[in-house]
Amino acid sequence: MILHFENKSIASIDLQKWKNKDFFLSANEKIAANFIKDWYSGRKAFVLQTSGSTGIPKQITIKRELLEISAQNTLNALEIPEGSKALICINTKYIGGTMMLVRALHNSMDMYFRSVSSNPLDESLDEEIDLCAMVPLQLNEIIQNPHSMEQLAKIKNLLIGGGTVSDRIVERLQDIPTNVYHTYGMTETISHVALRKLNGPGTSQYFKAVGDNTFKTNDHNQLIISGAVTESKELITNDIVNLINLHEFEWMGRFDNVINSGGVKFFPEQIERKISVAFSDNNITNQFFITAEKDDKFGEIIVLAIEGEVSGNILSDILKSSLDKYEIPKKVYFATEFIQTETGKINRSKTIATINEI
């Protein structure tokens, strides 16, 4: 196993002798190097950080054996052979990046590190890559850059996690050979427990379980997960799903994001999906999200936040033509730039607190 850092390549086993002063590493590479050293030392448990995008950030201690089970589930599902190549371009402080390290270590894969940036493929890849993980923000930047799209085609299997994937992005993925999978999971489930194929053979709107994970729902249609990665305990999530069977579900939205306006419940994610299609049809690439605001009359009202500028008349026409009457936002906010978490997710609460109504 060789670790290809941006300024130096080193055999992974030689990290046991590595000192910070030996050669320059970026902050993310140092986190990865220290994790790999701990892994080789035989550490039995690791402390990982949640991103804080849906709640207060916290630290979770995870057993090594559960990390290994999760890694093997993914390697089996994607049929990644031993000795393959992995591209690491997301923050290894959090579960998505950590699990890329574990999969590579578990499967004796060479690791190629890229800076954590909005477009990790702005420079050419010298090698064909077997497995990579990114966040939607990165993929959104890549599809707008012809050179980066050419590089993306050099990646055989791509995992996209940490947020929803717009229809505009999915549409652009249909003509590339890369197998692209949308992931469902969280730190508490040791990364993803289900995958949804976004392009090519096997494309589906349903998330399908990996490993021995099984699914059911409660009276609120919240997803409940059970499997080896949860140590066979039932984990109740905050996600509302349409359960297909024990091994498949359609994701509908977050339970804690539901907007109750005038006694009618709305899923922001479903409204966002409609707007995404309309924006794509009108060549609008701005990031946006739907949220709620307290209101004396309705209890809550639907609010749209947009990054950058969109013509008011065009926006009004798009919303009226693409949304049901009661889904149309009562207010629209514009932000110069959305606030993001370290994992590339939009921090909705902090963003909406910093922008003013237009």
Cα separation, 130 vs 30, whole angstroms = 23
Q: Long-range CB contacts (< 8 A, 24+ apart) of 75-80?
A: 75/103, 75/106, 75/107, 76/210, 76/211, 77/195, 77/210, 77/211, 78/131, 78/157, 78/179, 78/181, 80/107, 80/109, 80/130, 80/131, 80/157
Residues 148 and 284 in one domain: no
CATH at 277: 3.30.300.30
Burial class (CB in 10 A: 0-12, 13-18, 19+), 181: buried
Residues 81 and 216 in one domain: yes
- Chosen domain end from 254, 283, 306: 254
319 pLDDT above the threshold of 60: yes
Span 25-32, average pLDDT: 89
Cα separation, 168 vs 245, whole angstroms = 28
Residue type, 18: W
* Token duo for residue 283: 């060549």
Higher pLDDT, 156 or 347: 156
CA distances from 351 to 49, 205, 231 (A): 22, 29, 37
* pLDDT band at residue 6 under the 50/70/90 scheme: confident
Residues 101 and 7 in one domain: yes
Residues 77 and 92 in one domain: yes
Burial class (CB in 10 A: 0-12, 13-18, 19+), 61: exposed
Residues 237 and 292 in one domain: no
Q: Return the top range by mean pLDDT from 38-42, 244-248, 271-275, 345-349.
A: 244-248
Residues 99 and 200 in one domain: yes
The answer to whether the beta carbons of residues 111 and 1 sit under 8 Å apart is yes
154 pLDDT above the threshold of 60: yes
Can you name the residues that pair with 131 across neighbouring β-strands? 86
* pLDDT band at residue 358 under the 50/70/90 scheme: very low
pLDDT at 8: 83
Higher pLDDT, 192 or 347: 192
* Averaged pLDDT score across all residues of the chain: 90
pLDDT at 312: 74
What is the DSSP secondary structure assignment for residue 181, as one 8-state letter? Answer: E
What is the DSSP code string of 12-77? GGGGGG--TTTS---HHHHHHHHHHHHHHTT-SEEEEE---SSS---EEEEEHHHHHHHHHHHHHH
Residue type, 144: Q
pLDDT at 19: 63
CATH at 121: 3.40.50.12780
pLDDT at 50: 76
Q: Largest Cα–Cα distance of the chain, in whole Å?
A: 66
- Chosen domain end from 254, 281, 301: 254
pLDDT at 164: 85
Residues 90 and 219 in one domain: yes
- Chosen domain end from 232, 254, 276: 254
Residues 173 and 298 in one domain: no
Please give the residue range of the domain that contains residue 38: 2-254
Q: Return the top range by mean pLDDT from 58-62, 149-153, 297-301.
A: 149-153
* pLDDT band at residue 23 under the 50/70/90 scheme: low
**Number of structural domains, the chain?**
2
Higher pLDDT, 322 or 15: 322
At residue 311, φ and ψ (nearest 5 deg) are -55, 130
pLDDT at 336: 87
- Using DSSP's 3-state secondary structure scheme, residue 327 falls into helix
* Token duo for residue 355: 């922008």
pLDDT at 345: 77
Span 241-262, average pLDDT: 93
Residues 240 and 309 in one domain: no
Residues 300 and 178 in one domain: no
pLDDT tens across 50-65, in order?
Answer: 765 555 667 889 999 9
198 pLDDT above the threshold of 60: yes
Residues 106 and 69 in one domain: yes
Residues 152 and 192 in one domain: yes
Span 174-202, average pLDDT: 95
pLDDT at 348: 82
276 pLDDT above the threshold of 60: yes
- Where are any strands of DSSP class E within 64-178? 85-88, 110-113, 131-134, 157-160
